Amino acid sequence: MLLAIDEQNKKILAEHATKEQNYRCPSCKNPLILKQGKIVTTHFAHYPAKKCFSFSEGESMDHIEGKKLLFRWLSSHYSTVELEAFLPQIQQRPDLYFENERKDKVCVEFQCSKLSSDEMLKRTLSYQRHNYSVWWILGPNSALKQDKISALQKLFVFPSHLGLSIARLNIFKEHLELINDFGYSSKEKLNWTETNFSLENSSPDLIFTQNPEAGQLKKFKRTDYLYTHHKYMKQIKYKNKNLLSLVEKLYRNRESLHTVSYLIYQSINYEWMIRNHPMEWKYDVLQIINKLPEAHIFSRKEFLTYIKELKLKYYDMPLVQDNMRTTVLFFFLDFLCLEGILTEINSNTWRKNKSVISYSNEGEKIKHLYLLSQQLC
Ligand SMILES: [Zn+2]
């Protein structure tokens, strides 16, 4: 911990404390040890035998150091920043707490240790229910893997001006990294972008409270359809469980992966928000469009009522508003406009131009996919 009560009953930061004075814990009032050293960040700790109901011991050096950096950074932008403040109403102690000029109450959590999904959701929902916003910032041990972004990592996603992002603090370089633009390349590897904001020169408001710029969201990369087709054919051959429901659906409609349109292979920005298999919900959307009469004009609202039938399941993302979730479906409509299936009349209205056609056999499909993949190069 970085804050204690001194002999005059005043709050004091560890870096301003001296060995000559006695310090107590702001919560349990037990005496504290001041730990100073060349390697460690100056901090307070309880005596080993004293159990504290409020502070957990074994706080890592990364956590202490990061909290200190964030405290300095936030204090240079807001006048009311409190370290390790206890919020009695909800019995929680965020790492940092402040109110901004708009009187928003903001809690900042710097997460270095392992945290379960349940615990993260519980804490976040409790803040939100009591009208606190919460900024989650991940510590150094939160690297993304090459193949996917985990359900746990998705919990920390929030809408920054760069689009849906995860914030990570680099305590050595003293900058915040916004990790965003997660997407699968044509070869199905997870890609992302890291943008660094030095704490010295960046405002917290810019990073945490600005809405995504529309242009950031519409980026679009074409999938390698031939590669994707072969990949899924192989998965079906080995009876991959994730594809069972799609395979059954295709069968009921007298189709198969040999004949179904390549449009379901296209990966769409933010599709990692949806739990259903990406090919399956795209197939469902195409079925909905095929049922509409030709030249039918439909609104956003109408489309959303059709979508309700699909029973889409989303990952838990407590920092993302509900209306942002459906954006991924509208990105798919953007793609269908590009393919000439739909025409966008305005940002809320579309017209159906034609139905999506299936192939009559695999040979025809492969030939077409081959032509499309040539165009990629
Ligand atoms: Zn204590």
Helix (H) or strand (E) segment spanning residue 150:
none
pLDDT at 163: 87
Residue 320 CA to ligand 1 centre (angstroms): 35
Question: Comparing 55 with 167, which gets the higher pLDDT?
Answer: 167
pLDDT tier at 50, thresholds 50, 70, 90: confident
Structure tokens at 351: 């017209």
How many other β-carbons are positioned within 10 Å of the β-carbon of residue 81? Answer: 20
Residue 339 CA to ligand 1 centre (angstroms): 63
Residue 33 CA to ligand 1 centre (angstroms): 11
For residues 254 and 180, membership in a common domain is answered with no
Asked whether residue 268 carries a pLDDT value surpassing 80, the answer given is yes
Task: Determine, yes or no, domain membership for 294.
Answer: yes
For residues 77 and 138, membership in a common domain is answered with yes
**Location of structure tokens 């606190």:** 132
For residues 136 and 281, membership in a common domain is answered with no
Residue 47 CA to ligand 1 centre (angstroms): 10
For residues 108 and 70, membership in a common domain is answered with yes
Q: How far is the CA of 26 from the CAs of 45, 54, 66, 196, in angstroms? A: 12, 9, 21, 35
pLDDT at 298: 98
Task: Determine, yes or no, domain membership for 218.
Answer: no
pLDDT at 215: 57
Question: Comparing 351 with 47, which gets the higher pLDDT?
Answer: 351
Residue 71 CA to ligand 1 centre (angstroms): 21
Name which of 88, 98, 91, 84 is nearest 44 in CA terms: 84
Residue 135 CA to ligand 1 centre (angstroms): 25
Distance between CA 185 and CA 116 in Å, rounded?
Answer: 29
What's the full length of the chain, in residues?
377
Question: Comparing 264 with 213, which gets the higher pLDDT?
Answer: 264
Per-residue DSSP letter, 276: S
Mean pLDDT of 32-54: 84
Residue 27 CA to ligand 1 centre (angstroms): 5
Q: What's the structural domain count of the chain?
A: 3
Mean pLDDT of 325-330: 90
Sequential DSSP letters for 333-363: HHHHHHTTSEEEEETTEEEE--PPPPPSSHH
Residue 262 CA to ligand 1 centre (angstroms): 61
Residue 51 CA to ligand 1 centre (angstroms): 7
Residue 59 CA to ligand 1 centre (angstroms): 13
Residue 30 CA to ligand 1 centre (angstroms): 6
Residue 53 CA to ligand 1 centre (angstroms): 6
Residue 337's domain spans which residues?
225-376
Mean pLDDT of 143-148: 71
Residue 308 CA to ligand 1 centre (angstroms): 50
Sequential DSSP letters for 68-110: HHHHHHHHTT-S--EES--BTTTTB--SEEEE-TT--EEEEEE
Task: Determine, yes or no, domain membership for 220.
Answer: no
Residue 168 CA to ligand 1 centre (angstroms): 28
Q: Which of 58, 92, 107 is the last residue of a domain?
A: 58
Asked whether residue 219 carries a pLDDT value surpassing 70, the answer given is no
For residues 123 and 29, membership in a common domain is answered with no
Cα 157 to its chain centre, rounded Å, is 2
Q: Which of 58, 82, 102 is the last residue of a domain?
A: 58
Task: Give the pairing of strands 163-170 and 158-160.
Answer: antiparallel
Residue 26 CA to ligand 1 centre (angstroms): 7
Task: Determine, yes or no, domain membership for 364.
Answer: yes
- Percentage of the chain modeled with pLDDT above 70: 95
For residues 2 and 71, membership in a common domain is answered with no
pLDDT at 47: 87
pLDDT tier at 348, thresholds 50, 70, 90: very high
For residues 204 and 106, membership in a common domain is answered with yes
For residues 97 and 154, membership in a common domain is answered with yes
